Amino acid sequence: MTLFLESVACIKQDDVTGKDDIYIQINGATIAIVGEIASGEEKHFNNQILLANGARWLELWEKDTITPNDKIGSIDLLQYNTDVKQEVMIENESASYKLGFTLIPTI
């Protein structure tokens, strides 16, 4: 399966001061670095990521230098239909993000 990552929108950032520093992991491996993003901002991507067999859990993380990194949340990729754009909220008590992506089955 290929993950076509299209957009990451920050509805509400995690950090109180400065911007969030976001990266995305799948099954523990970093597959995309979103970088600095603040509330109300959206970043667009054109990333096609070939997923390993068994890849399932997509996690959104926010990097902190002093305190441990914050996990914003995770989604189960197996829950989503393929070949159609998905817009999925990933959030916790403090932060809220919206991911736009399409899953493409490997032929």
Stretch that binds Ca ion, among 12-20, 40-48, 52-60, 74-82 (CB under 5 A): 12-20
Residues 68, 49: Cα–Cα separation, whole Å? 27
Sheet with 2-12, strands from edge to edge, namely: 42-50, 2-12, 96-104, 86-91
Q: Tell me which amino acid residue 15 is.
A: D
Q: Pattern 34-73, binding to Ca ion, x per CB under 5 A?
A: ----------------------------x-x-----x---
Does 91 bind Ca ion (CB under 5 A)? Our answer is no
CB of 84 to Ca ion, least distance (A): 32
Question: C-beta of 60: minimal distance to Ca ion in Å?
Answer: 12
Give CA torsion, residues 74, 96, 13, 41, to 10 deg.
110
Which residues sit at the interface with Ca ion, rule CB under 5 A? 14-15, 62, 64, 70
